[in-house]
Homo-oligomer: A and B are copies of this chain.
Amino acid sequence: MIKVSVLYPNASDATFDMGYYLDRHMPMVRDLLGGVLKGMNVDHGLAGGQPGVAAPYIALAHLLFESVDAFQAVFDQHSGAILADVPNYTNTQPTVQISQVKL
């Protein structure tokens, strides 16, 4: 299984509408990706690892797929609609990480 992590960097002027993200954006992503998407998880940043340190990321999404090829094929088809919706919930530019799930 592979995981696509979408990491929204925190900053003093970073905005992120978690209500819109959970109620509108992620359901749209789920509908578009269909059965190729094997699981999804959304986290909201609370803090860094030391007292008083801000969370490095304001929000994180993790999406599971059988393989990188399976993800890329379905994302190529629907990336236009998905990426066009990003400015509706954040002013940040997400970092994307593709990983192999080991445990």
Interface residue ranges, A against B (CB under 8 Å) = 2-5, 7, 18, 22, 26, 40-50, 55-57, 60, 68, 95-103
In the assembled complex, the Cα of A49 lies from the Cα of B97 at a distance in Å of 6
Cross-chain contact B97 with A41 (CB below 8 angstroms): no
CB<8 Å pairs between A and B, sample of 20: A3-B43, A7-B56, A18-B102, A22-B103, A26-B103, A41-B101, A42-B102, A43-B99, A43-B102, A46-B68, A46-B98, A46-B100, A48-B95, A48-B97, A49-B96, A49-B97, A50-B96, A55-B99, A57-B97, A57-B99
In the assembled complex, the Cα of A80 lies from the Cα of B60 at a distance in Å of 28
Please give, as numbers and ranges, the residues of chain B lying within 8 Å of A97 by CB-CB distance: 45, 48-49, 55-57, 60
Instruction: Tell me how many chains of this kind the complex includes.
Output: 2
